[in-house]
């Protein structure tokens, strides 16, 4: 019985170690709208934000400065996006798909 417990523990430890990279890079995705002024330009995009920013308000705080570096002003977080929805938004976001 003791040998079986050791084997189970080793198996569980190995499984947890295999999951660590996925846990470490946990992300959320958001669709958003942004603008530039003079002349007015608008864009729709999809961005990744840390898992700790996985709400509309937290995503706004995380994303706005990244957009601002390129002169964009965040207008709104349109939606929280599930990984399964990413491919469907790729064409709509165009050059702004996972850019920020």
3-state secondary structure the chain: CHHHHHHHHHHHHHHHHHHHHHHHCCEEEEEEEEEECCCCEEEEEEEEEEHHHCCHHHHHHHHHHHHHCCCCEEEEEEEEECHHHHHHHHHHHHHHECCC
pTM of the predicted model over 0.95: no
Task: Determine the Cα–Cα distance for residues 40 and 37; give it in Å rounded to an integer.
Answer: 4
**More reliable by pLDDT, 14 or 38:** 38
Instruction: State the pLDDT at residue 96.
Output: 98
Q: List the domain boundaries for the chain.
A: 27-96
Q: Name the least confident of 17-26, 31-40, 66-75.
A: 17-26
Instruction: State the pLDDT at residue 12.
Output: 56
């Amino acid at each position: 019985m003791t040998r079986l417990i050791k084997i189970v523990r080793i198996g569980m430890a190995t499984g947890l170690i295999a999951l660590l990279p996925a846990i470490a890079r946990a992300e959320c995705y958001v669709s958003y709208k942004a603008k530039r002024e003079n002349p007015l330009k608008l864009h729709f995009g999809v961005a990744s934000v840390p898992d700790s920013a996985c709400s509309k308000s937290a995503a706004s705080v995380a994303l706005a400065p990244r957009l601002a570096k390129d002169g964009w002003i965040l207008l709104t977080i349109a939606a929280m996006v599930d990984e399964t929805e990413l491919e469907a938004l790729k064409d709509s976001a165009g050059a702004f798909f996972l850019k920020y």
